[in-house]
Structure 1
Amino acid sequence: MTWIIAVARWLFALFYIYVGASWFSYKLFGTAWPDHKEAPAAKALTTALTDSGIVDPLIASACLAGGLLLLFRRTAPLGIVVLAPLVVGIFIFHLFLNHDWPWGTFHLCYLGLLAWLYRAGLRPLWNFQTAPISKAH
């Protein structure tokens, strides 16, 4: 059963590594970048975000970092945390703007399943306690 979980984690990781690396390859080396069919509202948003010059590198970096972190069991919980805002954004984008809810829902459910499987590694995020402050002498 653990090898099935590892393969599922690696597939999700490789997808996000591919997306992040593809964007950097497109920007640095001029490789092809897919032009997806988008609803007019979705196209307006993606065009504005791309034209800002800030959002695309952040998304690509988050994809690459989160995917690389997911490759290893020890850092998988951190990869889940890094990818969570991105995946929620993908879900909302596809649900409300692009009207392609299966794609966004798939990503959200997949990440939710990984978060459930690695919940023990995420538990410290919810149980954080500060150490008592020692008095300076």
Structure 2
Amino acid sequence: MSLFAKWGPRVARVVLGLPFFVIGLSHFVPFMPPQPPPPPEALPFITGLMAAGYLMPLVKVIEVAAGLALLTNRFVPLALTLLAPIIINIAGFHFTLAPSYAMPTVFIVLGLYLAWSYRAAFAPLFRARAEPAAPATEQASSAQAAHAR
């Protein structure tokens, strides 16, 4: 195994997880300096998010939980799945309303790299046809039958 294959996903997890964890946590425990005001074009979008009342706290809880999951290497595919729409919205916001390309590009690249690194966990999502899981009693009896053979 190459050094990049071994350390790449680890470094990417930390580099992606840390900003989401810290910035999400800062929403609840303000410890970061205030951000500069957004450009006027972005105000209707931000005002709408804030007016919803529940949306920003929900997004920040997801950011903290997913960031922590990435930092601790627990439930990484779930964390990536939860962060995907947030990353897409961050990119859309910064590519169109508040032009800034470095951060969203890094988030997209890291997210895609980690999704590729954990592709085995995502593979079942791309099956054209999937069957629901059998009830637990059926699974146990079929496992016992297979074991008896």
What TM bracket, shorter-length normalisation?
0.7 to 0.9
Measure the CA separation in 1 of the matches of 2:109 and 2:42: 22
Alignment partner, residue 40 of structure 2: 40
Residue 125 (structure 1) aligns with: 125
Q: Percent identity among equivalent residues?
A: 32
State the match for 1:94 in structure 2: 94
Name the residue aligned to 1:56. 56
CA distance in 2, matches of 1:103, 1:63: 16
- C-alpha distance after superposition, 1:67-95 (max 9, x if no partner): 12212445111110010010001111111
Contact 1:39-1:98 at 8 Å conserved across structures: yes
Tell me the TM-score normalised to structure 1 length.
0.81
Aligned partners of 1:32 and 1:62: how far apart in 2? 19
Pairing 1:1-137 to 2, within 5 Å after superposition: 1=3, 2-26=6-30, 31=31, 34-127=34-127, 128-131=130-133
* Structure 1: unaligned runs, 5 residues or longer: none
Q: TM (normalized to structure 2)?
A: 0.75
| Whole-angstrom CA distance in 2 between matches of 1:56 and 1:74 | 24
Indicate the structure (1 or 2) with the bigger Cα radius of gyration. Answer: 2
* Alignment length (residue pairs): 130
Q: What is the root-mean-square deviation in Å for CA atoms of aligned residues?
A: 2.2
Give the C-alpha shift of residue 40 in structure 1.
Answer: 0.8
| SS of equivalent residue, structure 1 residue 56 | helix
Query: Residues of 1 paired with 2:133 and 2:12: CA distance?
Result: 37
Q: Which residue identity is paired with 2:96?
A: F
Q: CA deviation at 1:11?
A: 2.0
Cα deviation for residue 4 of structure 1 reads 3.3
Code of the residue aligned with 1:70 in structure 2: it is L
In the alignment, structure 2 segments of 5+ residues that lack a partner are: 139-149
Provide the C-alpha distance between the structure 2 equivalents of 1:34 and 1:129, rounded to a whole number of angstroms: 50
Distance (Å, rounded) in 2 between the aligned partners of 1:69 and 1:106: 19
Higher mean C-alpha displacement, 80-89 vs 68-77: 68-77
Moved over 6 A (4+): none
* Whole-Å separation in 2 of the counterparts to 1:50 and 1:131: 40
Whole-Å separation in 1 of the counterparts to 2:113 and 2:32: 32
